[in-house]
């Protein structure tokens, strides 16, 4: 499937409403979704709604230049915002290639507040992005006040008490009537369900134990709590009830307790995320540099930092620093990996907080989001520094340069050997353990 498509201002689009959008949806988007996907993405969603006709069915054919003009944004920024909407389940995009390419943007409703606050990933990310105080305020806003009906009698009549059935003319069912629809949001499957299910004796589980809903829940929990298949086996077993079915609340609680036990009582953050798919380089290049980029894109900052500790647990200070880059600075995981690699190499294996945050601030201002952009920026900055040093230092007293391996431009052309390929594979395997 084509993911990295070059989009032009002249390319056209039509907005199609696949749901019923209510005034309450605006509250859900600004209060629950915006802290996760950002203001620009939510603004794009509202702009697409405004493009539709009065009865909000679909829009006329418009150009992307129209979006650029109304939102006062570059097309690249609009594409990034669009992909965030897609990733979180608010939008589906369809594409038809012609001389002028055509797009269809299908809008879906946000999850209800109840679904959102009970979602194993979205709920945790919202909590981490807002902090406890703001999170509690938002949650209180959506809470339904309880009415004490203890002294009241239920006198509601039934349908049968009011209506009676009579013979009528033929009736035709209509399938194309509008209805409220959500895409939902689930993690990419990272659990080996064949291994998981086969590890539990069939006598312990019901035939309908592992429904698609349960599998989605397990996948979501495995992502947010960084739990592999082997550890998930025990947690699933402990969550089985007397009917051989998985108690969803018990499973959530078990996964949360497992994570907190392993991590000193802390809740998870985005430190375990990898580079988003839409910001990754296309695969196929076999050069050394491409393999290095692939490593930075597919390893979490936590695992990458842990590899620098020779497999030992990183210090809490270093973890807080990396967490700050991901959560507070909202840097992309792959970019953080490049930053770790660069600073450790040129700063005698020390992650100096001030030094790291100075570089992070520069990269945020430069809007660096891809691994390759980060690597190129490091190389440019190093060249500037080298020029300054050459002016102030005589050639015979120059010290040997200390730079990361990926600074070598020859790596862009040189094919990777079988031995080097095996070495990188072992590194990725070690990092994923």
pTM of the model: 0.52
Listing DSSP states for 107-130 in one string gives E-PPPPHHHHHT-TTHHHHHHHHH
Q: What are phi and psi of 219, to 5 degrees?
A: -60, -45
Beta carbons within 10 angstroms of residue 175's beta carbon: 4
Write out the chain's pLDDT in tens, 433 residues: 455 678 999 999 999 998 888 888 999 999 999 988 888 999 999 999 999 877 778 899 999 999 999 999 999 899 989 999 998 899 999 999 999 999 999 999 999 999 898 887 788 888 877 888 888 999 999 888 888 888 898 889 887 788 776 655 555 555 565 666 777 655 556 788 888 888 888 888 888 899 988 988 888 788 777 788 888 988 999 999 999 999 988 998 888 888 777 777 666 655 556 777 677 877 666 678 888 888 898 888 888 888 888 767 788 788 878 877 876 677 888 999 999 998 988 888 888 888 898 899 999 899 898 999 999 998 888 777 777 766 665 544 445 556 666 665 554 544 545 555 555 455 444 443 4
Query: Looking at 270-340, which runs of residues are DSSP E strands?
Result: none
88 phi-psi bin (left φ>0, alpha ψ -120 to 50, beta other) = alpha
Produce one character per residue of 210-236: b if its CB has 16 or more CB atoms within 10 Å, e if not: beeebbbbbbbbbbbbbbebebbbebb
Q: Give the count of beta carbons closer than 10 Å to the beta carbon of residue 271.
A: 22
Q: How many CB atoms within 10 Å of residue 429?
A: 9
**How far is Cα 39 from Cα 136, in angstroms, rounded to an integer?**
21
């Amino acid at each position: 499937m084509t993911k990295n498509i070059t989009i032009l201002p002249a390319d056209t689009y039509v907005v199609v409403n696949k749901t019923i959008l209510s005034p309450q949806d605006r509250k859900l988007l600004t209060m629950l979704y915006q802290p996760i996907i950002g203001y620009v993405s939510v603004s794009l969603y509202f702009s697409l709604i405004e493009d539709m006709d009065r009865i909000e069915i679909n829009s006329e054919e418009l150009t992307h230049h129209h979006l650029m003009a109304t939102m006062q944004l570059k097309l690249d920024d609009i594409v990034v915002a669009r992909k965030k909407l897609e990733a979180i389940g608010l939008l589906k995009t369809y594409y038809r290639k012609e001389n002028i390419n055509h797009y269809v943007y299908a809008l879906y409703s946000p999850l209800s507040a109840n679904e959102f606050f009970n979602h194993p990933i979205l709920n945790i990310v919202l909590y981490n992005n807002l902090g406890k105080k703001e999170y509690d305020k938002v949650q209180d806003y959506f809470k339904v006040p309880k009415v004490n009906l203890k002294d009241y009698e239920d006198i509601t009549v039934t349908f049968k008490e009011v209506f009676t059935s009579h013979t009528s003319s033929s009736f035709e069912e209509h399938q194309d009537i509008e209805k409220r629809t959500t895409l939902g949001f689930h993690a990419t499957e990272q659990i080996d369900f064949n291994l998981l299910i086969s590890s539990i004796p069939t006598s312990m589980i019901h035939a309908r134990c592992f429904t698609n809903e349960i599998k989605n829940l397990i996948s979501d929990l495995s992502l947010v709590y960084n739990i592999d298949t082997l550890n998930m086996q025990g947690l699933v077993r402990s969550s089985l009830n007397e009917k051989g079915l998985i108690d969803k609340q018990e499973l959530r609680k078990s996964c949360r307790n497992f994570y907190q036990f392993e991590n000193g009582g802390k809740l998870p953050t985005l430190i375990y995320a990898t580079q988003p798919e839409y910001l990754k380089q296309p695969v196929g290049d076999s050069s050394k540099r491409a393999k290095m980029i692939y490593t930075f894109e597919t390893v979490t900052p936590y695992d990458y930092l842990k590899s620098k500790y020779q497999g030992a647990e990183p210090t809490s200070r270093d973890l807080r620093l990396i967490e700050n880059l991901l959560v507070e600075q909202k840097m992309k995981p792959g970019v953080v990996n490049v930053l770790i690699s660069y600073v450790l190499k040129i700063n005698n294996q020390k992650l100096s907080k001030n030094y790291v945050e100075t570089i992070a601030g520069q990269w945020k201002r430069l809007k660096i989001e891809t691994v390759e952009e980060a690597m190129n920026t490091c190389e440019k900055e190093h060249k500037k520094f080298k020029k300054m040093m050459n002016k102030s230092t005589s050639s015979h007293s120059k010290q040997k340069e200390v730079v990361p391996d990926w600074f070598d431009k020859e790596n862009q052309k040189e094919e990777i050997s079988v031995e080097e390929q095996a070495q990188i594979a072992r590194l990725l395997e070690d990092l994923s353990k």
